[in-house]
Amino acid sequence: MTRFIAACCLAALAVLAPSPGSAAPYPTRVVTIIVPFPAGGATDVVARTIAHELSGRIGQQVIVENRPGANGLLGSAVVARAAPDGYTLLMGGANTQGMNDVLYKNRPYDSLKDFSAITLTAQIPVAIVVNPSLPVNSLQELVALAKAKPGQLSYGSSGAGGPHHMAMELFKSVAGADIQHVPYKGGAPQLNDLVAGHIKIGAIGLPPALPHVREGRLRPLAVTGRTRTAFLPDLPTVAESGFPGFEVNYWLGLFGPAGVPGEIVDKLNVEVAGLLKRPDVRDLLAKQGVETLTSTPAELQSLVAVEIERWGTVVKERGIALD
């Protein structure tokens, strides 16, 4: 009888055990989000907020690894080459999955072919601002001054090929204004020189500029997005300022390597979108000057295609190349 019972138990265990071909539900280990920029910036803040909240939702630790360099090319390439298993993800954006594809001929990835789009995550408002010593109070006045002094005005950006540089180059093209570009090595030195008056005009991420705007040390002229920002609701968009159709959004999105199984993409989409819709998470990011966004994987993939086509036109018209 004892042998019979033991045999039955072994048979039951064999039935309950997973078959060799089956896999445990994703995830079973640590998930890494690569941020292709230094720690402390907006992309990093969004990634770390998502990582912290996502860990509790999926039952595994989610960590952030900063891999900066070459306008985000280096870190993005790490993800493009990673195994498509959902354990290595990228917090990319309009610059890494759009602008870089047309700025660098010898780039190490193709954003349309080498990544699995998961979801939009956030938008960082970009503003055109001036030092108060410049006698302009609107974009129209800025353009008029630039046309009266062609090539004599200059604007700063956080770096060549970044979203602020590209937004301003598109504006110059639309407005027919000749304003020289002065690239900085990051947003902090650009902001410092704007406030000090060493440079008079800037295209800049609005969050770090807000305290200076509120204290009167910088004068905002317009935001570049399609809609006004809740952070400065009275500030018009570029389109509202006399340049209809103008729109530049500095969006962020979550990506994996090409070939991530659909069920993993869908799980990550649902979980990340769910946490970004929570009021406490939205409020937390809003304090950092970040507006949350979500999308389907297909919508994000379509956005990447649109951005590549649009910025390709701008780069060709303006003669911009970084390699």
Q: Do domains 31-123+249-318 and 126-224 have the same CATH topology?
A: yes
Question: 191-229, pLDDT tens digit by residue?
Answer: 999 999 999 999 998 888 989 999 999 999 999 999 999
Q: State the average pLDDT over residues 275-286.
A: 96
Say which residue the tokens 């302009």 belong to. Answer: 136
Cα separations in angstroms, 140 against 28, 180, 204, 237, 291: 56, 18, 19, 12, 27
Q: State the average pLDDT over residues 228-234.
A: 93
Q: 31-123+249-318: CATH homologous superfamily?
A: Bordetella uptake gene, domain 1 (3.40.190.150)
Domain residue extents for the chain: 31-123+249-318, 126-224
The C-alpha atoms of residue 92 and residue 35 are separated, in whole angstroms, by: 7
Handedness of CA 285, 214, 239, 167 (dihedral sign): negative
Question: 173-185, pLDDT tens digit by residue?
Answer: 999 999 999 999 8
Q: Is 74 exposed, middle or buried (0-12, 13-18, 19+ CB in 10 A)?
A: middle
Q: 126-224: CATH homologous superfamily?
A: Periplasmic binding protein-like II (3.40.190.10)
Q: Is the pLDDT of residue 3 over 90?
A: no
Q: State the average pLDDT over residues 91-107.
A: 94
Q: Is 221 helix (H, G, I), strand (E, B) or coil?
A: strand
b/e 79-101 (16+ beta carbons within 10 angstroms → b): bbebebbbbbbbbbbbbbbbbbb
Average pLDDT, the chain: 91
Q: Give me the amino acid identity at 209.
A: A
- Angle at the Cα of 226 from the Cα atoms of 223 and 231, rounded to 5 degrees: 45
pTM score of the predicted model: 0.87
- Angle at the Cα of 231 from the Cα atoms of 310 and 251, rounded to 5 degrees: 25
